[in-house]
Amino acid sequence: MARAAGAVLGVEVVPQAVEDARENARRNGIENAEFFCGDAGEAAVMLAKKGEKIDVVVVDPPRKGLAPDVVEAAASMRPGRIVYVSCDPATLARDVARFAPLGYCPVRACAVDLFPGTAHIETVCLLSKLHAKQHIEIEVKMDEMDLTSAESKATYEEIREYVLEHTGLKVSYLYIAQVKQKYGIIERENYNKPKSEDTRQPQCPPEKEKAITEALRHFGMI
């Protein structure tokens, strides 16, 4: 990547990681990369204030994701693209939602199984600057993206199929979401809240709640 760029600037809060990056650049003959030890959010703010022209921003945060000020600082530099490397789909979905009002939308994502035998996954997501006259609107269902580590073990459809196969009961996504919320797994606005104040939301019957709970136990989600 560095060889294809005019210049690369790396910021890392861990001093040893900075030294390793410099050594890797030296060994690979990379002469257009600079690495600094410091807070990524503060560095982004500094670059934005200097008016530095950044074409691409690459972020690779820990499992907790990006702090809100880092999201704002990255967007304030107005790069054409942001590459987000994540080890937690839940915080990735949260941060992608934070980038949206700042003018960036996800255009491509790739999942890589770096943690075989676990519920964890590494994801690389490309966000692009949204131009008012040159963009395509896409609908992304957050129930497919917004995953907690527990939720990633089974999809809604897998839970429905398990319940139907083992009990003969048909359960809706709404009922599954209600039971998940009861166990603190998720809280989804689109499933858990009525569309209007006057709408009464059906509640999951006890027998179906019991069946869904058993399915969640089966998939190791509770």
Q: Is 204 one of the annotated active-site residues of the chain?
A: no
The confidence score (pLDDT) of residue 138 equals: 56
pLDDT at 153 over 80: no
The confidence score (pLDDT) of residue 99 equals: 94
d(CA 151, CA 14): 32
Rounded percentage of the chain residues whose pLDDT exceeds 90: 35
Domain 39-145 listed as CATH 3.40.50.150:
yes
- Give the helix ranges, DSSP H, for the chain: 15-27, 40-50, 68-76, 89-99, 142-145, 156-167, 173-182, 189-192, 206-218
Q: Kindly report the average pLDDT of the chain as a whole number.
A: 82
At 3, the pLDDT band (50, 70, 90 cuts) reads: confident
Contacts of 119 (CB under 8 A, 6+ apart): 149, 150, 152, 153
The average pLDDT across 180-186 equals: 79
d(CA 149, CA 172): 22
Nearest alpha carbon to residue 170 among 139, 205, 127:
205
SS3 assignment, position 101: helix
151 or 92, which is more confident: 92
Name the residue ranges covered by the structural domains of the chain: 39-145, 152-218
pTM over 0.75: no
Backbone angles phi, psi at 106, to 5 degrees: -75, 135
The average pLDDT across 152-166 equals: 85
Point out the catalytic residue in the list 87, 105, 110, 204: 87
Q: Are 126 and 107 in contact (CB under 8 A)?
A: yes
